Amino acid sequence: MNPSSPNTNSAQNGQSVSPWQWIPSLYIAQSLPYVVVMSLSVVMYKNLGLSNTDIALYTSWLYLPWVIKPLWAPLIELISTPRRWIWVMQSLVGIALALVAFIIPTEFGVRLSLAIFWLMAFSSATHDIAADGFYLSALPTHQQAAFVGVRSTFYRVGNIVGQGLIVYLVGIAIEKLGDPKQAWLWAMLFLAALFLLSAIYHRSFLPYPVVQTNETASKPRLTFKEVISHFGHTFSSFFVRKDIWVILSFLLLFRLGEAQALKLVTPFLLDPISKGGLGLTTAQIGLVYGTIGVLALVCGGLLGGYAISRKGLRFWLWPMLISCHLPNLVFVYLSTAQPNNLYLISSMIAIEQFGYGFGFAAYLLYMMMVAEGPHKTAHYSLCTGFMALGMMLPGMVSGWIQAQLGYPNFFIWVCIATLPSLVAAVFVKIDPSFGRKEQV
């Protein structure tokens, strides 16, 4: 079926609801809170004068809800429906953003905003679970496949809106108002209004999934005790694999270098030349890193997915590992040369992000391979939890490491930190045909 065909599911009023009415908005709404917590918070705290050590430590803690979200994933459908969870979580995200806006100018704005961001991260992680579950229940299988590219595209649109447009507008506001606190207050209020409107929209326009098989309809509702028992069996089956230590090593080490670099790239771009940075403005960050960089990342990811579909994951694993890690040398060059040409800086960032996007496709496909089996959803959730843990722990100490080494040596250290993932990859076992599209 063509992706533009309307969905056969119905809204409460009985009218047909096309997937185009809710998939783009739902996945923009899924990506934005993550961008706010993981990326915008770094820019905001840098604008507010926090040290790199504090920024890296505090914002890395915000990964925790995504690390542990598999623990409450089975409760989403037990307590209510994914549809209701979606608009309720969007409402909570909107309220949290409004609270951040109003406490930023206060004396305790930094501490209180961190606490609110942390709570908002739980809402966002819960929204992720509900949105993905709703996607699976609201669309028949053939439409799930047809719209997978649509949902991925609009998730990236959310990244561009958050890291690009919002940061750019905040930069302009800082230049006009001369006060970062006021600029971020208005940015958070705008995002809060956006999410409250999103909650109202999705409460009205999300379809009500219809049970389509007699088998599902006749299936008895599990008791809480049965759910917990099933939950324990599902998760234990993940850890009894013979190669579990290889799997965990690869999941935790693949992003060891990136986890440290990611927290310091924005501070590096913003810091003045005298402090070892490139001296870009906040608006330039929104353009260079949040827009050009994200677009290059998307293009790299699309090419990576296509490449794997042609030759399989095993064929591309090592080229993609190198593609993912080698471009970190871009930051070694930028921190050493400290160029002031915006076109050169943009080109270097685009190269790094494209290479990373191309290589990261292998990591995503590896998680899908590991999750294959009767408990695919739960096991994939565990994989993403370990991925988040692999980002959180190294990120927490990255600011301190940078403060001790300075930017050039820090980025050299980042390159060295990619080597353990290459060691882990030696022991990875992959079916030669996995990921390769069958030739018809």
How much is the pLDDT for 221?
60
342 contacts 284 by C-beta, under 8 angstroms:
yes
pLDDT (tens digit per residue) in 389-398: 999 999 999 9
Higher-pLDDT residue of 233, 282: 282
In angstroms, the CA 189 to CA 169 distance is 13
Judged against a pLDDT cut of 70, whether residue 5 lies above it is answered with no
State the greatest distance between any 2 C-alpha atoms of the chain, in Å, as a whole number. Answer: 70
Judged against a pLDDT cut of 80, whether residue 218 lies above it is answered with no
Residue 226 in tokens: 């049965």
Q: 3-state DSSP call for residue 13?
A: coil
pLDDT (tens digit per residue) in 8-28: 444 443 347 788 889 889 989
pLDDT band at 220 (very low <50, low <70, confident <90, very high): low
How much is the pLDDT for 227?
66
pLDDT band at 208 (very low <50, low <70, confident <90, very high): confident
Average pLDDT, the chain: 85
Higher-pLDDT residue of 223, 154: 154
User: What are the DSSP calls for 324-360, one per residue?
Assistant: HHGGGHHHHHHHHH----HHHHHHHHHHHHHHHHHHH
Judged against a pLDDT cut of 60, whether residue 204 lies above it is answered with yes
363 contacts 384 by C-beta, under 8 angstroms:
no
pLDDT (tens digit per residue) in 371-411: 877 777 678 778 888 988 999 999 999 999 999 999 999 99
Judged against a pLDDT cut of 60, whether residue 224 lies above it is answered with yes
In angstroms, the CA 367 to CA 434 distance is 12
Cross-strand pairs, 16: 10
270-294 burial, b at 16+ Cβ within 10 Å, e below that, comes to bbeeeebbbebebbbbbbbbbbbbb
In angstroms, the CA 127 to CA 298 distance is 23
Judged against a pLDDT cut of 50, whether residue 210 lies above it is answered with yes
Using CA atoms of 411, 282, 403, 349 in order, give the dihedral in degrees to the nearest 10. 0
Work out the percent of the chain whose per-residue pLDDT is above 90: 49
Question: One-letter amino acid identity for 278?
Answer: L
How much is the pLDDT for 14?
37
Q: 3-state DSSP call for residue 49?
A: coil
Mean pLDDT of 243-270: 93
Judged against a pLDDT cut of 50, whether residue 61 lies above it is answered with yes
172 contacts 283 by C-beta, under 8 angstroms:
yes
129 contacts 69 by C-beta, under 8 angstroms:
yes
Higher-pLDDT residue of 38, 434: 38
